[in-house]
Amino acid sequence: MRNMDLKMVVVILLLAFSFHGEGSSGLSFNFYDESCPQLEDMVRAGVRSLFLADPTTPAALLRLMFHDCQVQGCDASILLDPDAERTHYAEMTSSKNFGIRNRNSISFIKSTVEAVCPGLVSCADILVLSAREAVALSGGPGISVPLGRRDSSYPPDFRLADTLIPPADIGADGVLQLFSEKGMTVEETVAILGAHTLGITHCLNLESRQANILKNATNPAFENIVKMSCRLPLGFVQNDLTPLIFDNHYFVNSMSGGGVLRIDAEMPLDSRTRPFVHKFADEEEAFFRAFSSAFVKLSSSNVLTGNEGVIRRNLVLVGSRLCLGKYIPANFVFGDSLVDAGNNNYILSLSKANFAPNGIDFGQEIGLIGFTPPYLAPTTTGAAILQGVNYASGGGGILNYTGKYFCGRINLDAQMDNFANTRQEIISRIGEAEAKKLFENAVFSITIGSNDFINNYLTPYVSKLEQKLVPPESFVGAMISRFRIQLTRLYDMGARKIIVANVGPIGCIPFQRDINPSAAAGDGCAVFPNQLAQLFNAQLRALLTQLRADLYQSNFIYADVYHIVHDIIQNYSSYGFNNANSACCGIAGRFDGLIPCGPTSKVCEDRSTYVFWDPFHPTDAANSIIAMRLVDGDSADIWPINIRQLMRSKPLD
């Protein structure tokens, strides 16, 4: 499973909200009682599924709502993307919104709501309800909020966000002034800052702190922790000792000199705010009451109601518009450990990575809810499957006997069987005609084939006899023949837009470098594995070309991952890497490639400077480069069109 990053940027940037009074006459606590009585239960279930997949979700959703309300009011404008021609740069492009994530999660929940209450509930209301549920799921208070907001149809300019969102080094004077202008009491101001109890603060937001606070530090031990944590620019500091729990520890820490940001450190010292910091540190219930009051005021600020604004719709089907203000097709993923989002965690298998230090970067905003949900997860059901499903399995291959030494794994034929089950469930849910449209416009991606070599034809020792009996051309021919049947089956089940990644330069991974020390080329990569990959890739491209011609309305895309990864390895320094040969996480071998990454492995100091995370897989930094080149690359990277062009291609009628 690929390693990913649990990013959670400081909640301080929530502070200046456009509040005009305690509410809006257009909002009501029973707004959806008759039109959509299931709304709050559906949002609660959606947030819970997100929380189970990523426990940092609550902090992200809180910050998302707070930033939305800050600029132009609580109208879901932060969910709107810039227009395709970049003639207008939306508020999300503001540097003040760095690290904002989980925007797609609101669209995921919106799709569930639309299936039951089409065209009735705004993205703005769903965002507020999601933030409310995030607080409750983390152990905070249950908050009743009035509803009836409508969505803005056009995002404000990024410069407005630059102006209205305060800097990370804002102090007590600035915060109190901001909130007094918006009708907030001092007690409510202190309480809303208690949202910092969730999450972390990135060191990028602490640069000015080092100069302003250290000279007046009341807790030198804590200051040393901050200093040590921020040796690297990408470091972070926990906001309190329980960053995943909504409690009053933030105030307890602040009183003992453990405030991370400038405002956190000043509140227990300022005569205006100190009494409430002490009160909330002693009485968690008092904090919860004041926070609930402040939350309602902030989420009701400057809202659109009645005939103002619009209700953004998400029918999931053709021509739909998500809360992001754009059409996003469903995404169905097939493959091996390069794209496995967790399916192997639900089977008996030796090919797992659900233990530290793996997963250190898991949770980046990729896909519709952070990542396309794994097929075997119990939460991958209901309306969630309309957005797409991940069927990939670590150790899986094109051939059914690939990866047999892992015991459990799901090879591509079985992944196709699982998609067939999903297909029937979708047809039952929305009808055959609409399901046909969904599949024709969905994006199907397949990343597979490496294991057929690494854990089959090239398996150390045990494959020697097979290599003597079966020439490389015959083995690759068997792979291509099987792959033809599998891709044709996928087409027959309704897929039309199919991205197929070729096999990367497997001879360059740390594992192959370590087991083939005497068979390396001038670049240090093992020659024979790369020759096998190139032989397969040439035949794969020919296969996809033929399928494009033979299968009506098919759009097979050839993603040349080999070319991209080999370029990164050969020119690693120009991409910002210091090491293109060794694993960041390893324990044995010249290149740390002999034993998979695990709890006893040593981990490099800065994984962003390594091309490879472990003996087999790229780092998140390398994967990001690969992804961007596939999204926007030319025909040398992906043929005949790139992913962005595929996404923008006209939906099939």
Interval 82-103 mean pLDDT:
66
Residues 376 and 258 both lie in one domain: no
Residues 293 and 335 both lie in one domain: no
The answer to whether 563 is a known catalytic residue is no
CATH code where residue 436 lies: 3.40.50
Q: Provide the pLDDT for residue 650.
A: 65
Interval 17-37 mean pLDDT:
69
Q: Point out the domain boundary residue: 255, 280, 299.
A: 299
Closest CA to 19 of 83, 85, 66, 78: 66
Residues 254 and 336 both lie in one domain: no
Residues 284 and 343 both lie in one domain: no
Q: Provide the pLDDT for residue 575.
A: 93
Residues 289 and 335 both lie in one domain: no
Flag whether 304 is in a domain: no
Flag whether 317 is in a domain: no
Residues 280 and 363 both lie in one domain: no
Ligand-binding site membership of 125 (annotated): no
Flag whether 588 is in a domain: yes
pTM surpassing 0.75? no
* Three-state DSSP state, 555: strand
Q: Name the least confident of 377-381, 523-527, 619-623, 644-648.
A: 644-648
Residues 354 and 284 both lie in one domain: no
Return the higher-pLDDT residue of 471 and 255.
471
Q: Quote the percentage of the chain above a pLDDT of 90.
A: 50
438-447 in b/e burial notation, b at 16+ Cβ within 10 A?
bbbbbbbbbb
Does residue 94 surpass a pLDDT of 70?
yes
DSSP 182-246: TT--HHHHHHHHGGGGSSEEEGGGGHHHHHHTGGG-S-HHHHHHHHHHTSSTT-EEESSS-TTS-
Rounded CA-CA distance 650/653 in Å is: 9
Q: What are the helix (H) ranges across 373-471?
A: 412-430, 432-441, 450-452, 464-469
Ligand-binding site membership of 201 (annotated): no
- Which one of the listed residues 67, 202, 249, 617 is annotated catalytic? 67
With a CB cutoff of 8 Å and minimum separation 6, the contacts of 653 are: 318
Residues 344 and 459 both lie in one domain: yes
Does residue 326 surpass a pLDDT of 70?
no
Q: Point out the domain boundary residue: 275, 299, 323.
A: 299
Residues 266 and 348 both lie in one domain: no
Residues 294 and 348 both lie in one domain: no
Residues 547 and 456 both lie in one domain: yes
Q: Name the least confident of 522-526, 551-555, 624-628, 632-636.
A: 522-526
Q: Point out the domain boundary residue: 279, 299, 319.
A: 299
Flag whether 307 is in a domain: no
Flag whether 6 is in a domain: no
Q: What are the helix (H) ranges across 526-571?
A: 527-550, 561-570
Q: Provide the pLDDT for residue 558.
A: 98
The pLDDT tens digits for 451-495 are 999 999 998 877 788 888 999 999 999 999 999 999 999 999 999
Does residue 335 surpass a pLDDT of 50?
yes
Contacts 24+ apart (CB under 8 A), 321-325: 322/104, 322/107, 322/110, 322/111, 323/76, 323/79, 323/103, 323/106, 323/107, 323/110, 323/123, 323/126, 323/127, 323/151, 324/79, 324/80, 324/81, 324/103, 324/104, 324/107, 325/79, 325/80, 325/81, 325/155
Q: For residue 373, what are the domain limits?
A: 331-648
* Three-state DSSP state, 395: coil
Flag whether 322 is in a domain: no
Whether 129 and 145 have beta carbons less than 8 Å apart is answered as yes
- Number of structural domains the chain divides into: 2
Flag whether 315 is in a domain: no
Ligand-binding site membership of 196 (annotated): yes
Ligand-binding site membership of 77 (annotated): yes
DSSP 504-533: --GGGSHHHHHH-TTSB-TTS-BHHHHHHH
Flag whether 402 is in a domain: yes
Residues 273 and 395 both lie in one domain: no
CATH code where residue 93 lies: 1.10.520.10
